[in-house]
């Protein structure tokens, strides 16, 4: 899993202490209503395509960059689905992260879904009811994204 340079530089200063990191999650639907999923290389689990936003990067374009880099799929963001605090996540090396995760409903534009970098073991389109076991919170994100005109979800 490629860790962004800005996080590596922070880790040099703070070690394994908890970091608050901006992240994004894509619920990409194709014209048949299937959802784009990837099997992560770091933990073997299936989930939506996610990414860490670079400092100053706009969330929707940053997420679409991640989708293209990881899967070869070009998508457009249609709406914000939810804003969630996720974590803590503890990595095998002891790093601790909390994520501010922005979930976007996205629409497929072009490209062939494939493993396009070293962050995924597999990538594919799945129909509802045929999803593999998903990472925590990912099925909820898909359910919240189903309605193209739905309101954004916030926890209170």
Phi-psi region of 89 (alpha: psi -120 to 50; beta: other; left: phi over 0): beta
User: Which domains does the chain carry?
Assistant: 5-147 (3.90.79.10)
The mean pLDDT value of the chain amounts to 94
150 neighbors 81 (Cβ within 8 angstroms): yes
- Strands 46-47 and 35-40 turn out to be antiparallel
Calculate Rg over the CA atoms of the chain.
Answer: 15
Residues near 148 by beta carbon (within 8 Å), at least 6 away in sequence: 78, 79, 105
Provide the pLDDT for residue 11.
94
Provide the pLDDT for residue 80.
97
Query: What are the DSSP calls for 98-148, one per residue?
Result: EEEEEEEEEEEEE------STTEEEEEEE-TT-PPPB-TTHHHHHHHHSST
Q: What is the pLDDT of residues 7-24, one digit of tens each?
A: 999 999 999 999 999 999
Supply 127's token pair: 């129909």
pLDDT band at 155 (very low <50, low <70, confident <90, very high): confident
Across 40-44, 125-129, 148-152, the highest mean pLDDT is recorded for 125-129
Considering the chain, what percentage of its residues have pLDDT values greater than 90?
A: 87
Read off the pLDDT of each residue in 137-142 and give the average, rounded to a whole number: 96
100 neighbors 9 (Cβ within 8 angstroms): no
pTM of the model: 0.92
Considering the chain, what percentage of its residues have pLDDT values greater than 70?
A: 99
Q: What is the pLDDT of residues 72-105, one digit of tens each?
A: 999 999 999 999 999 998 988 999 999 999 999 9
Separation of alpha carbons 37 and 131, rounded Å? 9
């Amino acid at each position: 899993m490629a860790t962004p340079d800005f996080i590596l530089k922070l880790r040099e200063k703070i070690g394994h202490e908890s970091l608050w990191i901006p992240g994004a999650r894509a619920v990409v639907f194709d014209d048949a209503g299937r959802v784009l999923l990837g099997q992560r290389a770091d933990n073997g689990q299936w989930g939506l395509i996610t990414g860490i936003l670079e400092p100053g990067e706009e969330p929707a374009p940053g997420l679409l960059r991640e989708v293209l880099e990881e899967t070869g799929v070009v998508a457009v963001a249609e709406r914000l689905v939810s804003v969630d605090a996720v974590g803590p996540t503890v990595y095998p090396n002891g790093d601790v992260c909390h994520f501010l995760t922005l979930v976007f409903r996205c629409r497929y534009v072009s490209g062939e879904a494939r493993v396009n970098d070293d962050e995924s073991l597999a990538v594919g389109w799945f129909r509802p009811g045929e999803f593999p076991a998903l990472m925590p919170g990912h099925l909820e994100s898909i359910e919240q994204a189903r309605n193209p005109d739905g309101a954004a979800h916030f926890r209170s």
